[in-house]
Chain A
């Protein structure tokens, strides 16, 4: 029993090491995904390319521009002469924001009147636009307070007032990477194992080798377990790989227990391996298998709350999301990495994964018979 399982595992390992393409997919795809998500899918704004139309050209206007530059949110990449040029630059995507200081700004400031400036924001990405909007307001208000200080000859700290100190828990720097990378670990675990196991088993069917195996005394369970063993190791390697890059490159701190994280990742692996085996039992070719996997993955990723919070979804989608195993793993992994919580908090999710894993595994394994249709 064990001997035959290991025989299959050894053979599968040979397939893996001899297939450069699969090897590349296994080890570089997660890294690629990580860098893509870590950088491209970020909603953090820093050094946003900004153009300035300074019609005023006074020391006061230059001071304001300097305040924007100093905020680190905005990079002043150019000065324009008129609004048309600014509009064109925003259209072309050359800049994402524009600061317009009208003539009379310096005069108004000097006279102690309210001075108006305009701030143009490219709103095509609402997430970015929101952050930019807040940042532009903040810089303006800070400048306003500085005027008041100067006029009254006092320091803002010495005046009465209410200051709200927002404290962002779990991800204090509010970096998207911190939010994305734990989710990505779950996703890598999910997509890669489903895809690899499904393809590995379907390949035997597609190449007809399954027919030769069927006339051997091998048991379905030996075949399945033997075939997935190497991919369990690959999956764990990938998890550690993504985790290491997350910690050392993106500086994502792990607040909780690493061993708990790996343990629950193993539990989650049951579910994704089960789904992979199931897919292999419905698909006859590798192409079919890929199609089925993608049809399943895309809704899963959205419904699980990988990109957008589940709470923001319409009610029926929220209900549907309970059927997506990835949802539970996302809560677990974000919980452990970002919040440092333990089993006592994650119990519900763990139970859900145990149930999913057991049901899917049993279902998938019984579908696999040593018979041709």
Chain B
């Protein structure tokens, strides 16, 4: 209990037409990298805004760093860093000016300021761009600058809302390396992302869908939740192939990934030949039918489908 730095009780936010967050109960321990995963509109941003004490819940409550988000918002703000989903720095100010501005707003001591800014610039690999206007940075550099700005006052907890959306894969990896460094330093990280593969880098993840958490556990265990075994294949005429396979016995679920099909079956060894046969019968050519390990993404899609199925 004492180790939980974020706790929510039935945290709920209703807007005029939607319930964006619906009865959230989370507890996050000090030093975790907690991943909040979910598709667009799942309620990730709304959750983070409530935890950062800039949006009041319609119902329920949350405590962050031991303070209530509604009654003691300013205490929380001293202790957290928040990196919003959209770029929220001043584009017409330079990298250095942005950092200095936030250092001043957080009233970082003068003598400490210079040194800390230099260290953060180095940490975010932005030292050589410090004179550049923020608007003229690449997407990845903007994200790193935003992160540097949220770190200026040495927060205990950092909330990052989709920090890697719209960033190229190389920068994404680099960004996660930086987050891991912070994790090592003992900072608690609360990261939302729509990328399922990023969940693997978290200590725990919650899958959010339509305002509620479907599952919350360590990544390995979530992958274990997938029923059956997974076959991967690359057929021609994807949609038709998917329909044909879906009608076969022993097939639990079919998912599409680009030009790939992921087929969950009760017994891979037994069902693979049947699938090949059925596709051949339908005149659909197939490449590379093979069994693979379920990925995070498979697990989530499967869990979301199950949730949707239950409702019907």
Which A residues form the contact surface with B (CB < 8 A)? 3-4, 7-8, 11, 14-15, 18-19, 207-209, 211-218, 370-372
Contact = CB atoms under 8 A, between A and B. Distances in A.
B108 to A, nearest CB: 11
B289 to A, nearest CB: 47
A215 B90 contact: no
Nearest to A7: B104
A14 B86 contact: no
Contacts of A207: 88, 91
B151 to A, nearest CB: 13
Contacts of B91: 207
A233 to B, nearest CB: 19
A213 B101 CA distance: 11
A30 to B, nearest CB: 24
B89 A215 contact: no
A19 B92 CA distance: 8
B105 A15 contact: no
Contact of B88 (A18, A209, A370): A209
B93 A14 contact: yes
B74 A217 contact: yes
Contacts of B106: 216-217
A212 B91 CA distance: 13
B92 A215 contact: no
Contacts of A213: 105
Interface stretch (B49-57, B112-120, B187-195, B242-250): B49-57
A8 B104 CA distance: 9
Contacts of B93: 11, 14-15
Max chain A Cβ within 10 angstroms of own Cβ: one of B55, B88, B97, B107: B88
A259 B54 CA distance: 45
B201 interface: no
A230 to B, nearest CB: 14
13 contacts: A4-B107, A7-B104, A11-B90, A11-B101, A15-B92, A208-B86, A214-B54, A215-B81, A216-B77, A216-B106, A217-B77, A217-B105, A370-B54
B78 interface: yes
B82 interface: yes
Given A215-B77, A370-B73, A7 B52 contact: no
B11 to A, nearest CB: 16
B88 A211 contact: yes
Contacts of B87: 208
Contacts of B84: 208, 211-212
B80 interface: yes
Contacts of A19: 92
Contact of B55 (A4, A8, A372): A372
A215 B52 contact: yes
Nearest to A6: B104
Nearest to A14: B93
A4 B74 CA distance: 15
4 closest residue pairs by CB, A with B = A7-B104, A212-B88, A215-B82, A214-B54
Interface in B277-294: none
A212 B78 contact: no
Interface in B19-49: 49
Given A212-B84, A372-B49, A7 B74 contact: no
Interface of B: 49, 52-56, 73-74, 77-78, 80-82, 84, 86-93, 97, 101-102, 104-107, 149
A14 to B, nearest CB: 6
A64 to B, nearest CB: 67
A7 B88 contact: no
Contacts of A11: 90, 93, 97, 101
A209 B90 contact: yes
A15 B101 contact: no
B54 A15 contact: no
Contacts of A4: 104-105, 107
Contacts of A211: 49, 54, 82, 84, 86, 88
A8 B102 CA distance: 10
Contacts of B78: 217
B86 A215 contact: no
Contacts of A370: 54, 73
A3 B81 CA distance: 21
A260 B92 CA distance: 39
A208 B146 CA distance: 13
A8 B74 CA distance: 19
Given A212-B82, A215-B77, 17 more contacts: A3-B104, A4-B104, A4-B107, A7-B104, A11-B97, A15-B93, A19-B92, A207-B91, A208-B87, A211-B54, A212-B149, A215-B52, A215-B80, A216-B77, A217-B105, A217-B107, A371-B56
Contacts of A217: 74, 77-78, 105-107
Contacts of A14: 92-93, 97
A211 B104 CA distance: 17
B54 A209 contact: no
A18 B133 CA distance: 11
Contacts of B97: 11, 14
A36 B92 CA distance: 33
A224 to B, nearest CB: 14
Nearest to B102: A216
A100 to B, nearest CB: 65
Contacts of B101: 7, 11
B77 A15 contact: no
Contacts of B90: 11, 15, 209
A18 B92 contact: yes
A4 B107 CA distance: 8
Contacts of A212: 82, 84, 88-89, 149
A209 B54 CA distance: 13
A364 B149 CA distance: 30
A218 B105 contact: yes
A11 B134 CA distance: 14
A372 B93 CA distance: 24
Contact of A7 (B77, B86, B92, B105): B105
Contacts of B52: 214-215
A215 B105 contact: no
